[in-house]
Homo-oligomer: A and B are copies of this chain.
Amino acid sequence: MIKIKFLVVGNLKEEYLRKMSDEYLKRLSKFASINIIEFKELELPKDLNEINIQKHLEKEDEPIIKSIKNEDYLVLLDLHGKSVSSEAFADIISGAIKTLRGNLIIAIGGTLGISKALLNRANFRLKISDLTFTHQFCRVIALEQLYRAFKINNHEAYHH
């Protein structure tokens, strides 16, 4: 069975997001073995200047980067990434799985975003929307889109 790792910063604080996450993990279990690994969300710097933000991101993302192997395929959620349709995202997932030597990884940063090192490691940077969502909300959106991708790739119906 396909193994997919979610590397995420912080935990889901709202019960409805945990419920939604559980629901999609259950549905996804038909297609893949999903492992969600939560990394520590660091306290925000008091002074949000560019240097402090970069330091914060480097420190927050360091354990994430360390857990990614050279042969892994990394899909990174990124505000400045590429905006694609669910069908195109399904193609990216199936393409990654076909040529995969390591793990398929989906990573989501914390409140302040993503370090340059993690950005540079990404194989595909996905922009969900021009609108801003909380990173916790992005996690359930990513789970839902991954489920949708498997449904599309398996030619199964799924409502709009």
Interface residues of A, Cβ cutoff 8 Å to B: 14-17, 19-20, 23, 83-86, 88-89, 111-113, 128-135, 137, 141, 144-145, 148, 159-160
Q: In the complex, A84→B144 CA distance in Å? A: 22
Q: In the complex, A111→B83 CA distance in Å? A: 22
Q: How many copies of this chain?
A: 2
Q: In the complex, A17→B134 CA distance in Å? A: 16
| Chain B min CB distance to A21 (Å) | 9
| Chain B min CB distance to A45 (Å) | 15
Q: Which residues of B contact A133 (CB under 8 A)?
A: 141, 144, 160
Q: In the complex, A63→B41 CA distance in Å? A: 47
Q: Which residues of B contact A83 (CB under 8 A)?
A: 83, 129-130
| Chain B min CB distance to A139 (Å) | 13
Q: Are B134 and A159 in contact (CB under 8 A)?
A: yes
Q: Which residues of B contact A19 (CB under 8 A)?
A: 15-16, 19
Q: Are B132 and A85 in contact (CB under 8 A)?
A: yes
User: Contacts A135-B160, A137-B144, A160-B111 known; A130 to B85 CB distance under 8 Å?
Assistant: yes
Q: Which residues of B contact A23 (CB under 8 A)?
A: 14, 16
Q: Which residues of B contact A137 (CB under 8 A)?
A: 144
